[in-house]
Amino acid sequence: MAGRVSRVLGIDPGLATTGVSILDMEGSNYDPVYCGCIITKKSDPLYIRLVKIFNELSGIIDKYGPDCMAVEELFFSSNTKTAISVGHSRGVLVLAGGLRGLKVYEYTPLEIKQAVVGYGRATKKQIKYMLKAILGVKDDFFPRKDDAWDAMAVSICHANIHKFKDRTSFDKAKKTG
């Protein structure tokens, strides 16, 4: 991967607020390009909210041209209604990426926290601290909404995991070649 810039689209899915990030990675260097949210109105019908999510993410994909998409997997809690609404949003987000030819990777909240902080039960405060340290950015780079921070954590998770996978693939090829 060294010498080649790869662009990751990170997604923290939600119906009311979807976090979106764009991260460039070259070897061990990470450059945050974009971090924001897609926000829908609770008063709008479901289909209008889903169309807005789809259209806005499609525009971000078209503008930034990511190489792949990393999405946080659904976390099932006791609130079934919330899980279903997030599932609707997640489906539309994955569809937007798939229609634009992006390979979609999925990570659990535990995997994301481990990849960013080193601890699967990390708090939001710990995640924010590590994101700022890893990326070398100030608080004002990120929007106020946690969803944007979470999306960047998904991008970092993907970058860290695939940097390691690329390295081990190279090592195996080197040994057999």
Question: Catalytic amino acids?
Answer: 12, 72, 147
Q: Under a CB-based contact definition with an 8 Å cutoff, are residues 148 and 36 in contact?
A: yes
Measured CA to CA, the distance from residue 150 to residue 21 in angstroms comes to: 9
Instruction: Please return the burial class of 129, using the count of CB atoms within 10 Å of its CB with bins 0-12, 13-18 and 19+.
Output: middle
Nearest to 48 by CA among 19, 88, 12: 88
Q: Provide the sign of the torsion angle of the four alpha carbons 12, 16, 146, 35, taken in this order.
A: positive
Axis-axis angle for helices 109-116, 124-135 (nearest 10): 50
Residue given tokens 């999510």 in the structure block: 53
